[in-house]
A and B are shown apart, each in its own frame.
Chain A
């Protein structure tokens, strides 16, 4: 075998491995989301349920480029697949939706408002755009300490979130500091019910990159291979010191805003548009057509995901809920400066 042939084969192997790893997170994300939807309908979940259906390829492809324990990740509400790829346990995810006191948020916050900030996964607040500058701050801290090296931070946001002042301030400030911030905009066509044409007036959100002086990229977010390629490139550019990267992926949200929303505003015309493909189905087709996994292996993977998700939700459901009587009703870390009730 010539060297060139060997290189080609190893790069094909790497591409296949990346695709399969990301697909695995997409599948786990989808199976988990479907489980959440059924638990929600059964009345087992208090509060909202927000699904990433249709966004799995984009979400997983970004997180696949990140290194847990090194990079900073700020997922948003439709990033179950990305969270899985970044190493979040299904049990912690299930605990947060099901209100287990053992979860990372201990019942103090729920559903998608979860994270482990000191270990690189920020816990989103609901105010859109607000997490971007927090990622920047984490990167700036590392730069100040001389520990930035080739770390990146990634912040996820939707089309609607790009309209906030917070988004604008953060992207501009990150550009001024030339921070390795990757901003992943998932344009799923609707901010809750508001379509793109009532959200922004530019042709494509990536045009904003030029205004901020950052590099911009677009991708068909239904196509996992394309998502992997665009994030591999964007994250590498950020790691190499080329400043913030604005990536815009086009897709359709294959669900309501939340499970309470039957999304009457998504019309047949949207469902027939090129961005409406189901990324999980398309990725699975690619795997089969490329001969990377057999139908039987894919069925096994599906079963395994289902079993792990079922086990996680079953465990979380059996765990104790938070107890108001033993709760510390003190918001401060510095407890001796707290007003009101003391520690129990």
Chain B
């Protein structure tokens, strides 16, 4: 009775599975370690009398009746297959700032286990040989998305590796289920030497490893072990170069095409684009005074230094300039008379506020917004200017001709 109930339950389970099966049949691979069984039966007559059925056996069976046959079975082995897709469309760039560790944008990759066994993947990154040399020394950090704030890289995502160019990260227990993909974010810290508009291209590579901290998953050499799950590496050759080969358990995805340095997507440096111009004008001489003054000894010459930032550029902060006063001239401390404690430097801030520097104490000559100017040992310096995109900061000072 017990066995009959059990049998009924099994039959019900099989029926349920059969109902469910078509929905995932095309999506999921048969899991490794599954035993696939086959049993054929024959019905026949002898002397026109029906005989009891005979079930098959791997080595042949002629004992009649159900239950006397033996299943012909085999074990499904481990098919190692994986893909990485880069999810950012062509023509989209992740901003990166020269040397900045904070203002990153991330590029998104999806790692999919396309095999039939739960695996770990060890991640590493490669720089495109075609990248601008200024990117040498870039660090490439990888983060595994934690599912929070879906579809975006955020502070709660787990850093898998700080620099995937020199080290590796590991994502664990990735099941062979198309709905359980892993999102990997790549962010770079480019050296200070990169300049606005430069692009760079990095590859993300995944290598298949056994779960629970196991070693690299390798093809089982030699003949099949009928009793064990053997490994068959079945992954594609994902690149045109030597980073990945056919059936090696590896997969490589580039932001762009290998050798492009990021021709239509990847990382693009966004920076301030500053231009500096210096002009001079004679504003006074002892003879003509302010009317058509000429550059004669005793005349006052005004220098104008303009620092502009390009349209669409990043705000430049802590901008400073320094200018040595030329030979045969003398810095003229009385040039501008606004404020107290006059100093001969005027700053026209990007928002067009004109401010003479005030001399509030001996070594801090500041505007109201904190721009600091100094004249010391023949050199004019102005520091702590902020220049936003499409604006210009102007520094003026005057000298007299000796």
Chains A and B come from one and the same complex? no
